[in-house]
Amino acid sequence: MVQDSRYDPLFEPIQIGPVTAPNRFYQVPHCTGMGYSRPQMLAAMRGIKAEGGWGVVCTEYCSIHQSSDDLPFPHASIWDEGDIVNLKMMTDAVHAHGALAGVELWYGGQPAANLYSREQSFGVDSVPNNSVIGLPRQTQAMTLDDIEQLRGWHRDAAQRAVDAGFDIVYVYANHHYLLSNFLSPETNSRTDEYGGTARNRVRLIREIIEDTLAVVKDKCAVAVRYSIPAEITEDSDELIKMFEIIAELPDLWDITVTDYGLEMGSSRFVKEASNQAAVAKIKSMTSKPVVSVGRFTSPDTMLAQIKNGTQDFIGAARPSIADPFLPEKLSQGRLDDIRECIGCNVCYAHNSLCVPIRCSQNPTMGEEWRRGWHPDRIAVKHADESVLIVGSGPAGLEAAVALGQRGYAVTLAEAEMELGGRINRECALPGLSEWARVRDWRLGQLAKLPNVAIYPDNRLDAEAVLELETQHVIVATGASWRDDGVGRYLSSPFDGCELDSVLSVESILDGKLPSGSVLIYDDDHYYLGWAIALKLREAGLAVTMVTPEARIGGWTSYTDEQKQHMQTLIAADVKMLSDLGLVSWDGKAAQLECVFSGNVIEVETSCLIPLTARLPDDSLWLSLQTDKDKFKSLQRIGDCAAPGIIATAVYSGHKAARELGTAESKKELRRDRIVATRLEPFA
């Protein structure tokens, strides 16, 4: 029973071929950074989604054969009996909560480096590998026999999917992998029956859909992932024609747009439901159910997708990561409890870094199995003891919420009038408004906790902390940006850092605007230099950005924002210089050295803003060390301990709250691995 009947359509069961989804909440295939090497972490994480009410829960891309190997990126695999056993852990976890389990069968082709298997990857033609690492090798151009072999591999994988207990089996025909390369005339120059006309180029996808239907029979539904441009133009004609040929073949269509920067766009550049015109076009051309993503965070936007006929399911990856219990909370009328995705793409970044994903909003993401953390449940307090938290940035707010939910008597003291710490200043910058959700969700939760007392405009020193006579003290006083240039490139302050024309990042965040031209020396390589540059350009100032790295904002390549990051700076007429390290500043010009040759150039400007490293604001914690025996525990968390990204601060606060009064901090991290019992002899 849904508390608010307006949302009833979102909870209607819907048929997908031979299976029925219990509702319209559909976690589409998304990367996890876990893959085949961490099957227990993967199964627990997907199972939590099903417990939270997602009616369909899918794997990430799942390799069908050893010649489709994406290492170092951690993909799933369905090569053999061992994979069936591992994947069955996931399907069992999903089925335990009444949801359907889907598997995305994948063959990489040109982007697959095969660094693990060392197999030669098949391609439409023989073309250079275009993976992120850009391996200097080429694909093997497929013969007709190779195509038949590929079809056989896909049929075998489909059968293994049935054996593993999946309910939905995907044919993966987009994202520039092998099957999508057959579709495009830019990547398919074949002159046989698989090239040339639109009908020929879609032939292999049609055959594999038919093969998969024949293998799974009435046991599973068959889904196809397919892309068309976000804006329907004449250039879309061929993709539309090919879709028309196969529109009624599968049981479900999972539709994306051809521009991955739009499909996976961060909130800095792409807003909710930005690509739905393309989805509606496909929906109008098939009788089969359609699902698509749009980083849906608003229940009303979700409802509109169903009511206006744009799609049949609410597809989600990032919103299901930020809140695995989004559907359940919506059904219970707990809309204020939904942790909305902020669109920072930190989840995607960590898969890009080849490690398990994490989330700025949901600190339990990836910790379901190895730490036993549940996103909506937490152990009660160990004793009737009090906790003082000093500082209300992302770490302090998260700790206060979690400790309040555990039942402790919590006092939260904040030096400023407004709670939120760094979030307050950063979300006021261009493109970062949705990041305020990190603060706002936690303030909303604190308002429901009568055992948490909040004292803004209270700057506590060590004496004041001692006077409160609390049993546990958590210091979350954040960090401040350095203004002396010390960071990755410089290990000591630059000459001239003491001059008045050197402006600190802190002053800019506090609202101070310089006059004249500005040089931002960006040795942080993430979003903040970009946001400050745009803020200064909006104020009409001439801005030059300099970095010792090869690209401005290089870390945004992991969040898949690099292209849009650069495009917006170029559009704003920000001058950019790379591979230059800061040497000195004389008040009128910056002396910069080439990181390769050491040659020095000068760039004249009115003021310099060094964006390098941060200093933990840990003076309170240090001053309490002499009296630490007066507390049952004293700790520092978040940026106060080790400055980092917002997700790291939130995790730090949550971990401190989970472990307070328990032995959890002394437990070894639970490792997901296969332990060999013996060495197999050579044949």
Active site residues: 177
Question: Exposed (0-12), middle (13-18) or buried (19+): which is 43, by Cβ within 10 Å?
Answer: buried
β-pairing, 76-77 vs 607-611, is unpaired
- Please name every residue paired with 255 in a beta bridge, in sequence order, or none if there are none: 226, 292
The encoded tokens of residue 114 equal 């095969």
Q: Is 603 helix (H, G, I), strand (E, B) or coil?
A: strand
CA–CA separation, 664 vs 683, rounded Å? Answer: 46
Q: Identity (one letter) of the amino acid at 626?
A: T
Report how far residue 531's alpha carbon sits from residue 435's, in angstroms, rounded to the nearest whole number.
13
Q: Crossing angle, helix 394-406 and helix 646-659, to 10 degrees?
A: 30
To the nearest 10 degrees (0 to 180), the angle between helices 528-538 and 562-571 is: 20
Give the residue from 448, 436, 444, 259 showing the smallest Cα distance to 341. 436
- Give Cα 658 to chain centroid, integer Å: 23
Closest Cα partner for 281 from 249, 262, 253?
253
Q: How far is Cα 519 from Cα 609, in angstroms, rounded to an integer? A: 6
User: Where do the H-state alpha helices sit in 462-587?
Assistant: 462-467, 505-509, 528-538, 562-571
Q: In the chain, what's the furthest Cα-to-Cα distance?
A: 84
Give DSSP secondary structure letters for 75-136: -EE-SSHHHHHHHHHHHHHHHTTT-EEEEEEE--STT---TTT-PPPEESS--B--STT--S
Q: How far apart (Å, rounded) are the C-alpha atoms in residues 227 and 348?
A: 20
Decide: helix, strand or coil at residue 353: coil
Whole-Å CA distances, 268 to 261, 353, 466, 506, 537: 11, 21, 43, 21, 17
What is the rounded distance in angstroms from the CA atom of residue 263 to the CA atom of residue 268? 13
Place of tokens 């902020």: 342
E strand segments, 403-458: 409-413, 452-455
* Backbone φ, ψ for residue 73 (5° rounding): -75, 130
